[in-house]
Amino acid sequence: MPQAASTTFFSTKERILGAAEELFAQHGFAGASLRQVTANAKVNLAAVNYHFGSKDNLIEEVFRRRLDNLNERRVQALQRVKADPAATLEDVLAAFIHPALDVSLDSSGGLTFVRVLARAFAEHNERLRKFLSENYGHVLKEFVSEFSRHLPDLAKQEMYARLDIISGALTYAMTDFGVIQRRDDSSDAHRQRSAQHLINFAAAGLRAP
Amino acid sequence: MPQAASTTFFSTKERILGAAEELFAQHGFAGASLRQVTANAKVNLAAVNYHFGSKDNLIEEVFRRRLDNLNERRVQALQRVKADPAATLEDVLAAFIHPALDVSLDSSGGLTFVRVLARAFAEHNERLRKFLSENYGHVLKEFVSEFSRHLPDLAKQEMYARLDIISGALTYAMTDFGVIQRRDDSSDAHRQRSAQHLINFAAAGLRAP
DNA sequence: CTATTATTCAAACGATCGTTTGAAACAGGT
DNA sequence: ACCTGTTTCAAACGATCGTTTGAATAATAG
């Protein structure tokens, strides 16, 4: 099998997505201009509107590039939990959290994307929430359904509200997770402990009356 | 003693600060324009630069208005903990967290300001971090010193990093705290339980090896 | 090759941004 | 009344924003 070329070529679209992700993490969606993005990507200014149509569409594609994979793995992990009759609330939360933590460990921009995610949570942007709801809402719905089996007394609406807050807090904690992981890659032990802390924190938040 | 007038008069500066806080929470610092701020405050556009000098100074004053009080109460709470020889790490964390939770309960804009805080944490804005460090860094330093007494094996630099992440996660959790509190003000019991969850989460994060 | 499509490019569009200006309106003291 | 300093106001400044245009270039198909 022939080895891949040592220097990988990135298309214009890929270079724009990479530069946009980096600048959105640094300066936010409103704070990062398309002129900065295209300059860092070494492409023409008009390339964004040519390939993506608008800045808003570019923002959505920055999310889609990472979240499609994340949600697929969340669904798979949830199916495994559902098949286990002895699964606990913590197990469901693990299916929700571990795929997200894996995103932060992606060596090419994973930690940067987590910072973009943290910004999105802080912004409460309506257009972005609609996009996330339309594209990945069904996954959240499946998790809420499974959470309800373990917390039958918690109203669905209240559970959505708590999951939103927990997701925001966890997203911010994930930046720490990614940073720690970079500092010490000796083993999985520490990673597992950190993940368990996050899961226990989330479980406490969900079980609160 | 004569009762205060039923309708309170707000000065131009106060109206600007209130409108800015609300719009920064909704659209971010870069996303909220001075034209929106002055329109909502029902003052002239030039009033911002007249009273505050610049938009950046206005942002700083939005923080100072709430954080001066917060940090004073944190210092007082820390002094009480220091006077108690039996105080635990959780007690120090309570001195750090409870004053912050009280801010979110302020009936006139406390919850809004917490959303502004959450944005600031997500933004990692350099100018803002410098302002916070210069004005309230000494308080953080006192807490780190006390945390170190309970965690002698944790390097100072690592502790600062963890406190930053924990503060971000807690800030986001505080929005939930404020919302829950609004929904159910029947007693302090639930508030105390929520606060204890946050403290336990933070303690776990700090004690992690 | 030629014809056609896809992509890149420099330049400009109108809109909005933070900031500045200078005059008008208001305040209180003498 | 007058003067003095403070505050408000409409208007404009230059800079930057997202987006569009039309021509130049590259790539692909017949």
Q: Read off the pLDDT of residues B3-50 as tens digits, 9 standing for 90 and up.
A: 344 457 889 999 999 999 999 998 889 889 999 999 999 999 999 999
Q: Which residues of B touch A30 (CB under 8 A)?
A: 27-28, 30-31
Q: Residue B154 has what pLDDT?
A: 87
Average the pLDDT over each of A33-42, A43-52, A182-191, B121-130 and give the range with the smallest value.
A182-191
Contact B169 A165 (CB under 8 A): no
Q: What pLDDT, on the 0 to 100 scale, is given for residue A161?
A: 75
A97 touches chain B (CB under 8 A): no
pLDDT band, very low/low/confident/very high, at A94 (cuts 50, 70, 90)? very high
Residue A5: pLDDT over 50: no
The stretch B96-124 carries a mean pLDDT of 87
pLDDT at A202 over 70: yes
CA-based nearest residue in chain B for residue A164: B176
CB contacts < 8 A (A, B): 92
pLDDT level of residue B118 (50, 70, 90 thresholds): confident
Long-range contacts of A20-27 (CB under 8 A, 24+ apart): A20/A58, A20/A59, A20/A62, A21/A62, A21/A109, A21/A112, A21/A113, A21/A116, A22/A109, A22/A112, A24/A59, A24/A62, A24/A116, A24/A119, A25/A112, A25/A113, A25/A115, A25/A116, A25/A119, A26/B124, A27/B30
Contact of B200 with A204, CB cutoff 8 Å: yes
Nearest CA in chain B to A124: B26
As a whole number, the mean pLDDT across chain A is: 85
The confidence band for A4, taking pLDDT boundaries of 50, 70 and 90, is: very low
Task: Looking at mean pLDDT, say which of A167-181, B90-104, B119-133 comes out highest.
Answer: B90-104
Measured between beta carbons, the chain A residues lying within 8 angstroms of B161 are 176, 179
Q: Which residue is nearest to nucleotide D10 (CA to C1')?
A: B44
DSSP A119: H
CB contact under 8 A, A200 and B204: yes
pLDDT at residue B136, as a whole number: 94
| Contact criterion met (CB below 8 Å) for A66 and A103 | yes
Query: In angstroms, how far is D21 C1' from B206 CA?
Result: 57
- Quickly state the pLDDT bin for B208 (edges 50, 70, 90): low
**Taking CB atoms and an 8 Å limit, are B169 and A170 in contact across chains?**
yes
| Of A119, A172, A190, Cβ closest to residue B165 | A172
Residues of chain B in contact with residue A124, where contact means CB-CB under 8 angstroms, are 26, 115
Provide the 10 A C-beta neighbour count for residue B50: 12
Whether B137 has a pLDDT exceeding 90, the answer reads yes
Determine the pLDDT at residue B36. Answer: 96
CB pair distance less than 8 Å for B162 and A168: no
pLDDT score of B183 more than 70: no
**B125 → chain A, closest CA residue:** A27
Nearest nt to the CA of A11 via C1' is C7
pLDDT of residue B6: 43
Residue B87: partners with Cβ closer than 8 Å, 6 or more residues away: B81
pLDDT tens-place string over residues A96-149: 999 998 888 888 889 899 889 888 877 777 778 889 999 999 999 999 999 999
Q: Is the pLDDT of residue B168 over 80?
A: no
Nearest by Cα to B199 from B93, B101, B95 = B93
